[in-house]
Chain A
Amino acid sequence: LAARVLATKVGIAGGAVYVAYDSGLLGGSEQGSEALQKARAAVPPAIEEWMKYFGLQTQLPTIPNIEFSPVQAWNSGVRWSISRLSEAPTKAGEMTTQGVQYVRELLK
């Protein structure tokens, strides 16, 4: 019995490793990104199949096409912060003069 349990375990583990190897998950960068694209394309039909199987004909809320691109956001974020940094000394000078004026008026 112990041998059978061990054999099933080895079978499951070996199968998992084989599936990972076969779908190119452990290969080079090209294979990996291909596998990711395939998976992303295959997810909605798979979800539909599962819904039909369970008899739920509800309309799956379509994932809103998010117009947010991390790359664009990052680039614009970098540009914004660097421009703020370059303006910072001037702004700081202005704010100190304003602050000094304000305090002077208070002390009059």
Chain B
Amino acid sequence: MSERELGRKLDRCLADGVIKLGTGLGLGIVFSVLFFKRHTWPISLGSGAGLGMAYSNCQNDLRSHYLLHRNQKVER
């Protein structure tokens, strides 16, 4: 993986992490206020799940360079 490509992937990872953290936080707040009597745990659960999704996306993105993809023809 060239450095430029790696840099782009890492940028995407960071942006994705911020988005998913914010989304998880928001959804956690919504659920906490609506269903769980303003407890803190849905908020932490939501943000944690968001971070985990971002981490998993980043992992797949970085690994995809070394995997063979279906749309590439295999030369025999």
Binding site for B on A (CB under 8 A): 9, 12-13, 16-17, 20, 25-26, 28-30, 32-33, 35-36
| Pairwise interchain contact B30-A12, C-beta atoms closer than 8 A | yes
Task: Evaluate whether A36 and B30 lie within 8 angstroms (CB atoms) in the complex, with A28-B57, A29-B12, A30-B12 already known.
Answer: no
Place the interface of chain B in its size category: 20 to 34
Task: Evaluate whether A25 and B30 lie within 8 angstroms (CB atoms) in the complex, with A13-B35, A33-B12 already known.
Answer: no
Residue of B23, B35, B61 near A25 (CB, 8 A) is: B23
7 contacts between A and B (CB under 8 A): A16-B26, A16-B27, A20-B26, A25-B19, A28-B61, A29-B13, A36-B18
Task: Evaluate whether A13 and B19 lie within 8 angstroms (CB atoms) in the complex, with A29-B13, A29-B57 already known.
Answer: no
Inter-chain residue pair count (beta carbon < 8 A): 48
Known pairs A13-B31, A26-B23, A32-B12; list 5 more (Cβ under 8 Å). A13-B34, A16-B26, A20-B27, A25-B23, A26-B20
